[in-house]
A = this chain, B = another copy of it.
Amino acid sequence: MDSWRTAIVDAGPDHIRVKGFDVLELMQRSSFTDLIFLLHHSRLPSAGERRLVDAILIGVADHGAGAPSCAAARLAASGNRASLSAAVAAGLLTIGDEHGGAGSGCMELIEAGLERAATGGLTFAAAANALVEEARSSGSKLPGFGHRVHSTIDPRVAVLFGLAEQAGLSKDGVRFARALEDAIRDRIKPIPLNIDGALAAVLVDLGFPPPVGRLLFIIGRVAGLCAEVLEEHTREKPMRIKIPVTYDGATAQPVGADPRVGPNDQE
């Protein structure tokens, strides 16, 4: 079997290096968030960059036991007590385009808009209007806007953008996200940026590729899921979750009467 190749970790009998940095040094001098940044770059972050990644991870870590990821993790924990990783994984598996995944989609949207502006010599407003118009007529969604719980302005957005501003890291990504928000308000209706859209804008300015919009949601949310699973184990009995269900399908059928039944084999 051919050797697999990787440029991330060099692990041997007496060393582990991440992107060339010795883990022993990182353990003594850096934070976990530094490492998370390093895993997607070739260097460690500045203090301002780290502050933004910290804020993003904190912002998405846990949105309550009723969030789909937390609920799924608790359901798994209620039936499968032997494996903490199984329960956390179940919660993780609810993360997709509709739950925690909008960050990646929004990063792609922002990057597309910035490219549109650059190559077409357009203002951000014009490029944003074009993208919103295209989405509107094709019925596509615009990831990064609106939220299930925060029906109005998500307060995490202003905090994140404020931190980016303070650190001098608020650049074209953030500007274009605001342009999109304006364009949506003008062409559709006011639908404010949500935390996924805000982190997307900041991550573009931090130079991360779009998938990291989802990967950071995953890393942050796993911290919350771990606590949710532990609480489910500690406070609740197994199999305590009862979901009310109403059946609205076919009425009772006799099996024997169905002429299309092929009887099972006789001995």
Contacts and interface: CB of A to CB of B under 8 A. Distances in A.
B243 A66 contact: yes
A42 to B, nearest CB: 6
A85 B75 contact: no
Nearest to A10: B247
Interface in A225-264: 226-231, 233, 235, 238-239, 241-256, 258, 260-264
A11 B71 CA distance: 14
Interface residues of A, number: 149
Interface in A206-237: 209, 211-212, 214-215, 218-220, 222-224, 226-231, 233, 235
A75 to B, nearest CB: 4
A117 interface: no
Interface of A: 1-36, 39-40, 42-48, 50-51, 53-55, 57-59, 61-69, 71-72, 74-76, 78-90, 92-101, 148-152, 155-156, 159-160, 162-163, 166-167, 209, 211-212, 214-215, 218-220, 222-224, 226-231, 233, 235, 238-239, 241-256, 258, 260-267
